[in-house]
Chains A and B, each alone.
Chain A
Amino acid sequence: MSKEEVDTVREQLERFIGQPMGAPATAPEAVNVPMIRHWVDALDDRNPVYLDDELAATTRFGGLVAPPAMLQAWTMPRPKIEGIAERGGAPDEMGAENVVTALDQAGYVGTLATNSELEFFRYLRPGDLLQTTNSLESISERKRTGLGLGYFVTWVTRFKTSDEEEVGRQLFRIFKFDPATIGGAS
Chain B
Amino acid sequence: MGRDKGPDKGRVMDRVIGRDKKPASPLGVNVGDALPPFVLPVTSTVIVAGAIASRDFMPAHHDSAFARAQGAPDMFMNILTTNGYVSRFVTDWAGPEAMVRKIAIRLGAPAVPGQPLSFSGEIAQVSDEGDERVIEVTIRAANDLGDHATGTVVVSLPLPRPITGSSS
Contact = CB atoms under 8 A, between A and B. Distances in A.
Interface stretch (A63-71, A130-138, A157-165): A63-71
Contact of B105 (A47, A76, A115): A115
Q: Is the interface of A mostly helix, strand, loop or mixed?
A: mixed
Given A114-B106, A116-B104, A118-B103, A45 B60 contact: no
A79 B58 CA distance: 9
B91 to A, nearest CB: 5
Nearest to A119: B102
Contacts of A76: 54-56
Interface in A39-56: 39, 41-49, 55-56
Contact of A116 (B71, B83, B100): B83
Contacts of B79: 113, 116
B88 A118 contact: no
A42 B52 contact: yes
Contacts of A25: none
B53 A43 contact: yes
A59 B99 CA distance: 11
B113 interface: no
B138 interface: no
A185 B11 CA distance: 50
A72 B84 contact: no
Contact of A72 (B80, B85, B91, B99): B80
A73 interface: yes
A112 to B, nearest CB: 8
| Band of interface residues on A | 35 or more
Interface residues of B, number: 38
Contacts of B22: none
B101 A47 contact: no
B54 A72 contact: yes
A20 interface: no
Contacts of B52: 38, 42
A145 to B, nearest CB: 13
B84 A69 contact: yes
Contacts of B96: 47-49, 55-56, 59
Contacts of A72: 54, 80
A85 B54 contact: no
Given A45-B92, A68-B100, 12 more contacts: A43-B49, A47-B88, A69-B86, A70-B54, A72-B80, A73-B54, A76-B54, A76-B55, A76-B56, A114-B107, A118-B102, A118-B104
12 contacts: A39-B54, A42-B81, A55-B96, A61-B99, A73-B55, A76-B55, A76-B56, A85-B66, A89-B58, A89-B60, A118-B104, A179-B71
Interface of A: 35, 38-39, 41-49, 55-56, 59-61, 67-70, 72-73, 76, 79, 81, 84-85, 89, 91, 113-120, 123, 179
